[in-house]
Structure 1
């Protein structure tokens, strides 16, 4: 069994905003305390749609990593690295491309959506079509078994699972697989080997899921067999081949919905964001300029919080008493919109104060950021090399 490992990444679009913070970074900070995590800058992915706009990739990369650190991502607990600094990503993408049907890529939901949305740009490129394949390689190269996604992204991860499944089906049946699996059972010892075979028989003949789980638990605790034998026995257990690339599972996360300053989705392209490291003055100016319930034309007009974008900020930044005050004051017109906005301003400023403090050393000395990323790239490279050794061997490329 492969160790629990989480992988997630972001394209380097520059300084991040509150939407990124509530949608992803808060979750990253929580996960790094629970499981091994790898977080990467997807700079090659940036080229799939912005292949002719490369001048800001480097600056955007460093700005984004500083935002991660400011938000509380800890390089002592998580591995931070840049995709293009680990060339094994490209090699695995190439090799997986040899077995991935073209139709699988063309049916990815976002493929046609993005072509329509970015109709002003020529996206008839191999790199854009292969974007989901590279995403799969990003995950599989580290044998990550958990990937944080929202419910709307689960279908994207299924392609990665299908590719891993196909790879294992084609290449997991190594010559003499059954004989090697039987030999591995003998190395488990007489008692545990017999128990494994009993569980396997119950699962294959009767579909007993409890027996399957018991056999998996038995393998997970075995210390006297090699990793290769363990992988064979996991595959043999279900009548499959050796598991070379594990199928990653979605780690469903609740993404807090945060609108932009105009009430639509927060997006830099729409110019409606609050950056992760805004000055208190800028935060105040932006929130005070936000539109509110259009029914409140005058100060004395009652309003409805559910129609007001500011109310969604209250749900994230205010306590119960303040939210109740805001709702009642809006509906009976006892408070004005600027009054209602002040607790939101105070909440965002308070949240960002430690972020500004954490970011300052990296702004003062950029070498600190580069050293963190360099260390992360070295660790990521070691893990990627382990996977590629097994992939090359399975595909007949492990020349010695």
Structure 2
């Protein structure tokens, strides 16, 4: 019997997931779950690299991230959900990898640089600086072949591939070299048009937002500031709403952009069309969310069973790792 290749992907439990997560990774996860053996993890250890003083929210956020993935369409009957911190072999593997990754390599990682600036870190903690190594352990403990990621995670993926090659060369070729899978969609800007959509920036539409909240947020989104009246000719290229149409309403977007240019559609009408398209996407997610939230404890059961399955795989991988490194002493 042919063994399916494996996908590994996950999210930090630092708040609700938004449309940026959906176009960046979630839609690829959903699309490929029937083709690949899919593992989705809740990266609670990595959440501690920036939220170590807010552990009181972690339990709720862990469940929220799992529910967001399920609501997006990742069927728990097809997908293995697990919690990172409950797989101690990941921490063990992180320690082994850290022995041959230099501090300079981590300091020059573009994503580490960008995120340290975002959080205002003048001095980096050991955990924050080293979390790309932890990510490598996440990916390789289950021998993942494919990792759906956003563009900002590509430096981490390249480091993962280097670590895998280094391990296989040093010891024994036991680990597959994983490939990154990028979304076809461009990075989604925030509703304010000033930055990417982010949990901490307050500029996003969450997958769990009700219809009224989505409409309120879209109505407040940045459009062409030069347009005062609906009949004014606009410039779609500077309009955030137009950008969202290109992602979530691609069929109508060219016509809407042309009508904007010649002043035959106003921003209010254009935003209504965007709300309709977003409703088509989000309404099924709300139905799935309601189904699982109506059964208390079901999310916990999904996470517990998935974590138990992942743990068995991790133990087998660590036996191979230790044998390759010749540190299986007894």
Q: TM-score, normalising length from structure 1?
A: 0.77
Q: Residue 330 of structure 1: which of 251, 260, 265 is its match?
A: 260
In 2, are the aligned partners of 1:12 and 1:41 still within 8 Å (CA)?
Answer: yes
- Which residue number in structure 2 is paired with residue 126 of structure 1? 126
- Structure 1: how far apart are the matches of 2:275 and 2:182? 30
What is the CA-CA distance between 1:294 and the residue it aligns to? Answer: 1.1
| Residue equivalent to 1:83 | 84
**CA distance in structure 1 between the partners assigned to 2:67 and 2:157 by the alignment:** 28
Contact 2:4 2:35 (8 Å CA) reproduced: no
Correspondent of 1:388 among 314, 318, 323: 318
Task: Pick the aligned partner of 1:351 from 281, 287, 295.
Answer: 281
Deviation at residue 82 of structure 1 after TM alignment = 0.7
Q: How many Å apart are 1:54 and its aligned residue? A: 1.7
Contact 1:145–1:249 (CA<8 Å) still a contact in 2? Answer: yes
Report how many aligned residue pairs link the two structures. Answer: 328
2:139 corresponds to 1:139: yes
**Alpha carbons of 1:132 and 1:354: their partners in 2 closer, same or farther (altered >3 Å)?**
same
Structure 2: runs of 5 or more not aligned = none
Deviation at 1:43, TM superposition (A): 0.5
1:361-386 deviations in whole A, cap 9, x for unaligned? 22222311111111110111111111
Q: Is residue 24–residue 149 contact of structure 2 (8 Å, CA) maintained in 1?
A: no
| Deviation of the 1:255 alpha carbon | 3.2
Q: Is the 8 A contact 2:15 2:61 kept in 1?
A: yes
Residues 146 and 393 (structure 1), Cα distance of their counterparts in 2 relative to 1, 3 Å cut: same
Whole-Å separation in 2 of the counterparts to 1:312 and 1:284: 16
Residues 289 and 32 of structure 1, relative CA distance in 2, 3 Å threshold: same
Q: Quote the Cα distance in structure 1 between the aligned partners of 2:3 and 2:110.
A: 30
User: 1:184-208, CA deviations, whole angstroms, 9 ceiling, x for partnerless residues?
Assistant: xxxxxxxxxxxxxxxxxxxxxxxxx
Compute the displacement of 1:135 (Å): 0.9
* Deviation of 1:155 (Å): 3.0
1:251 paired with 2:192, answer no
Unaligned runs of 5+ in 1: 173-242
Structure 1 distance, partners of 2:296, 2:162, is 41
CA offsets 1:160-204 (integer angstroms, 9 cap, x no match): 1222222222222xxxxxxxxxxxxxxxxxxxxxxxxxxxxxxxx
How far residue 334 of structure 1 moved from its aligned partner, in angstroms, is 2.4
Deviation, structure 1 residue 90: 0.6
In structure 2, the CA distance between the partners of 1:114 and 1:290, relative to structure 1 (3 Å rule), is: closer
- Range that drifts further, 261-270 or 16-25: 261-270
Shift of residue 394, structure 1, vs aligned partner: 2.4
Q: CA deviation at 1:131?
A: 0.9
Q: 1:112 to 1:268 in 2, by over 3 A?
A: closer
Counterpart residue number, 1:9: 10
**Contact persistence 2:24–2:182 (CA under 8 A):** no
Give the corresponding residue for 1:262: 192
Q: How far apart are the structure 1 equivalents of 2:165 and 2:187?
A: 34
Give the direction of change, closer, same or farther, for the CA distance of 1:2–1:153 in structure 2 (3 Å limit). farther
Contact preservation (8 Å) 1:14, 1:59: no
Counterparts of 2:116 and 2:244, CA distance in 1: 32
Two-structure CA RMSD over aligned residues (Å): 2.0
CA distance in 2, matches of 1:325, 1:383: 51
The equivalent residue for 1:36 is 37
CA distance in 2, matches of 1:375, 1:323: 43
Matches within 5 A, 1:85-104: 85-104=86-105
1:287-302 alignment, distance < 5 Å: 287-302=218-233
- 1:134, distance to aligned residue in structure 2 (A): 0.7
Q: Which residue does the alignment assign to 1:167?
A: 167
Change over 3 Å in CA distance of 1:125–1:345 after alignment to 2: same
Structure 2 CA distance for aligned equivalents of residues 323 and 170 of structure 1: 52
